[in-house]
Amino acid sequence: MPKLTPLKASEVIRKLKKIGFQGPIHWWRHSHMVKWELTIPVPLHGNKDLKVWLISMIINEIGISREEWIAL
């Protein structure tokens, strides 16, 4: 199984846009990406990377495999 690595919020947003999410909609310290009724919050905390566990939760929420995520 391929290994996930920490990513910048902008990279996560770019990947979500590639699979059809709209946004980002900025609200407070998070951006939200929307596709149909599914809303994915993407934290924006300065220039910090998103942790692997958070990226894993996003992947599980949108229902794709790690391999598909890494290939984006």
What pLDDT tens digit does each residue of the chain (72 aa) get? 678 999 999 999 999 999 999 989 888 778 899 998 899 999 888 889 999 999 999 999 999 999 999 999
Output the pLDDT for position 27. Answer: 80
Q: Residues, the chain, total?
A: 72
What's the distance, CA 53 to chain centroid? 11
Structure pTM?
A: 0.88
Asked whether 31 and 42 are in contact (CB, 8 A), the reply is yes
Q: Rounded CA gap, 58 and 52, in Å? A: 10
- Which residue ranges make up each domain of the chain? 9-71
Output the pLDDT for position 30. Answer: 80
Output the pLDDT for position 60. Answer: 95
Strands 30-35 and 38-43 turn out to be antiparallel
Give the three-class secondary structure for 29: coil
Q: Does domain 9-71 have CATH number 2.60.120.560?
A: no
Under DSSP, the state recorded for 30 is E
